[in-house]
Structure 1
Amino acid sequence: MAALKERLRADLTAAMRAKDDVRKATLRMVLTSIGNEEVAGSAARELTDDEVTALLTREVKRRREAAEAFRTGGRTDSAANEEAEAAVIAEYLPQPLTDDELDAIVTAAIAEAGAESPRDMGKVMKLVQPRVLGRVEGSKVAAAVKAKLA
Structure 2
Amino acid sequence: MSDCTVRDTLTDAMKDAMRNRDKPRLGTIRLALAELKRIEIDEKSLDDQRALAVLDKMVKQRRDAIEQFNAAGRTDLSDQEQLELDILTEYLPTPLTDTEITELVDNAIQSTGASSMADMGKVMAIVKPQAQGRADMSSISKIVKSRLG
Whether the TM-score (by the shorter chain) exceeds 0.5 is yes
1:20 aligns with 2:22: yes
Unmatched 5+ residue regions in structure 2?
Answer: none
The runs of at least 4 consecutive aligned structure 1 residues that moved more than 3 Å come to none
Identity of aligned residues (%): 38
1:120 deviation in Å? 1.3
- Compute the displacement of 1:122 (Å): 1.1
Does the CA-based 8 Å contact 2:52-2:133 persist in structure 1?
yes
Of residues 25-34 and 64-73 in structure 1, the stretch that sits farther from structure 2 once superposed is 64-73
Does the residue aligned with 2:25 lie in a helix, a strand or coil?
helix
Q: Is the 8 A contact 2:6 2:48 kept in 1?
A: yes
2:39 matched to which residue of 1?
Answer: 37
**Aligned partners of 2:49 and 2:129 also within 8 Å:** no
**Partner of residue 105, structure 1:** 104
Using the TM superposition, give the Cα deviation of residue 19 of structure 1 relative to its aligned residue in structure 2, in angstroms: 1.2
Normalising by structure 2, we get a TM-score of 0.95
> C-alpha displacement at 1:36, in angstroms?
0.7
| 2:126 counterpart residue number | 127
Distance in 2, matches of 1:53 and 1:124, equals 20
Distance in 2 between residues matched to 1:145 and 1:16, nearest whole Å: 43
Measured in 2, the distance between the counterparts of 1:10 and 1:143 equals 37
**Partners in 2 of 1:139 and 1:88 — Cα distance?**
22
Amino acid at match of 2:8: E
Q: SS of the residue aligned with 1:37? A: helix
Alignment of 1:77-96 (within 5 A): 77-96=76-95
Please state how far the C-alpha of 1:60 moved relative to its aligned partner.
0.4
Deviation at 1:133, TM superposition (A): 1.3
Q: Distance in 2 between matches of 1:90 and 1:23?
A: 12
Q: Which residue of 2 aligns with 1:11?
A: 13
Report the CA distance between 1:123 and its aligned residue: 1.2
Whole-angstrom distance in 2 between the partners of 1:36 and 1:30: 10
